[in-house]
């Protein structure tokens, strides 16, 4: 029954995320990750050798996270119940599907009150300037975010749990948090966060494409894979375009295009070919895709663990 030790945290962690999401009152390790990154950045991101300092900070934090969870796991091996509990809690923390869908839903709730309310709520979950977006652009931004973060917030941590256990899942979360905080191409972070951004690209290479594949699979559009492979390249990120392209072909719509980021206009290429009006009610379909992809991937991992343990 040894195979149950990695399977039970997978199932329990998934169920906890499905039920609870990310309650704001609950202490979260990602907040600790963020505080550590902020502390390091405050003292290191100045004067000369910013790339070297940023690289050292990234390597130090990622190594410490992996070692902490690896050693914790090793210490808990004689205590299966404690090990399962420990892994369940942290896999729950690593997943963000429920909160992702709920945040998207919240934007649509506010959008019904007015465009200003919708823009303001959207700014909680995207990095772009939302102050000038029209209703259609707000809707597209929500859908783009849901597809991108299905990869970052769900499939990627599950993927690294499948191959490296909880140490892998939490290592990924630190890499992703580093990228989200210091991986910008602006004057402050262009050198300091360059290594973190590249590391995040490497870690997301397989999960992003796997996410796109699963999205097509659950919507019976696997024959559209060549379209996704071609359109997925139309993004500044080497990875984010693939889940976006999958959703674009599923909804038969078009994403991307110019947007403001930190006050500057960024000319982004379009993803998808049909520039149609996207309706608010289509959010239910997108949310359903996220939930179905997550469920299918959890079951696939559980089967693989059962077969190869």
pLDDT of residue 288: 97
Tokens of 15: 């169920």
Q: pLDDT, tens digit, for every residue of 74-123?
A: 999 999 999 999 999 999 999 999 999 999 999 999 999 999 999 999 99
Number of domains observed in the structure of the chain: 1
3-state secondary structure of 236: coil
107 close to 138: Cβ distance less than 8 angstroms = yes
Neighbours of 133 (CB within 10 A): 21
Q: What angle do CA 114, 117, 123 make, to 5 degrees?
A: 140
DSSP 8-class letter at 154: I
Q: Is the dihedral of CA 241, 243, 244, 249 positive or negative?
A: positive
Is the pTM above the cut of 0.85? yes
User: What is the C-alpha separation between 185 and 125, in angstroms, rounded?
Assistant: 19
pLDDT of residue 99: 94
pLDDT of residue 249: 97
pLDDT of residue 159: 98
Taking Cα atoms as reference points, which of 107, 207, 200, 217 lies closest to residue 150? 207
From first to last of the 309 residues of the chain, give the pLDDT tens digit: 666 788 999 999 999 999 998 887 788 899 999 999 999 999 999 888 999 999 999 999 999 999 999 999 999 999 999 999 999 999 999 999 999 999 999 999 999 999 999 999 999 998 788 888 899 999 999 999 999 999 999 999 999 999 999 999 999 999 999 999 999 888 899 999 999 999 999 999 999 999 999 999 999 999 999 999 999 998 888 999 999 999 999 999 999 876 666 566 666 789 999 999 999 999 999 999 999 999 999 999 999 999 887
pLDDT of residue 256: 82
Q: Is the dihedral of CA 103, 18, 62, 155 positive or negative?
A: negative
Angle in degrees, 0-180, between the axes of helices 80-94 and 50-76, rounded to the nearest 10: 150
User: What is the C-alpha separation between 100 and 18, in angstroms, rounded?
Assistant: 11
What do you get for the CA distance between the two ends of the chain, in Å?
10
Residue-number span of the structural domain to which 144 is assigned: 4-308
User: What is the C-alpha separation between 122 and 133, in angstroms, rounded?
Assistant: 10
pLDDT of residue 102: 96
> Rg of the Cα trace of the chain?
20
58 close to 179: Cβ distance less than 8 angstroms = no
pLDDT of residue 25: 78
Scanning the chain, the segments in alpha helix (DSSP H) are 4-20, 29-44, 50-76, 80-94, 97-111, 115-122, 135-150, 156-182, 194-218, 225-231, 241-251, 283-308
């Amino acid at each position: 029954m040894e195979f149950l030790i990695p399977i039970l945290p997978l199932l329990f962690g998934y169920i906890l995320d499905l039920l609870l999401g990310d309650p704001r009152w609950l202490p979260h390790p990602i907040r600790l990750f963020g505080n550590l990154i902020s502390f390091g950045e405050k003292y290191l991101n100045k004067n000369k050798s910013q790339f070297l300092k940023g690289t050292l900070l990234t390597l130090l934090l990622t190594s410490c996270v992996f070692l902490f969870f690896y050693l914790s796991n090793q210490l808990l091996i004689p205590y299966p119940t404690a090990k399962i509990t420990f892994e369940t809690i942290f896999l729950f923390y690593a997943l963000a599907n429920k909160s992702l869908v709920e945040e998207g839903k919240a934007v649509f709730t506010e959008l019904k009150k007015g465009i200003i309310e919708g823009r303001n709520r959207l700014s909680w979950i995207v990095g772009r300037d939302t102050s000038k977006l029209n209703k259609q652009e707000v809707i597209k931004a929500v859908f783009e975010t849901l597809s991108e973060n299905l990869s970052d917030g769900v499939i990627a941590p599950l993927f690294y749990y499948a191959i490296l256990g909880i140490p892998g899942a939490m290592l990924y979360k630190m890499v992703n948090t580093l990228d989200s905080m210091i991986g910008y191409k602006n004057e402050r972070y262009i050198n300091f966060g360059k290594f973190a951004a590249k590391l995040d690209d490497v870690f997301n290479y397989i999960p992003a494409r796997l996410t796109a594949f699963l999205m097509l699979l659950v919507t019976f559009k696997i024959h559209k894979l060549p379209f996704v492979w071609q359109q997925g390249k139309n993004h500044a990120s080497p990875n984010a375009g693939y889940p976006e392209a999958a959703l674009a072909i599923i909804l038969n719509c078009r994403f991307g295009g110019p947007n403001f980021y930190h006050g500057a206009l960024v000319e982004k290429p379009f993803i998808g070919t049909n520039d149609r009006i996207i309706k608010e009610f289509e959010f239910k379909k997108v949310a359903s895709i996220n939930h179905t992809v997550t469920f299918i991937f959890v079951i696939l991992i559980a089967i693989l663990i059962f077969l190869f343990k």
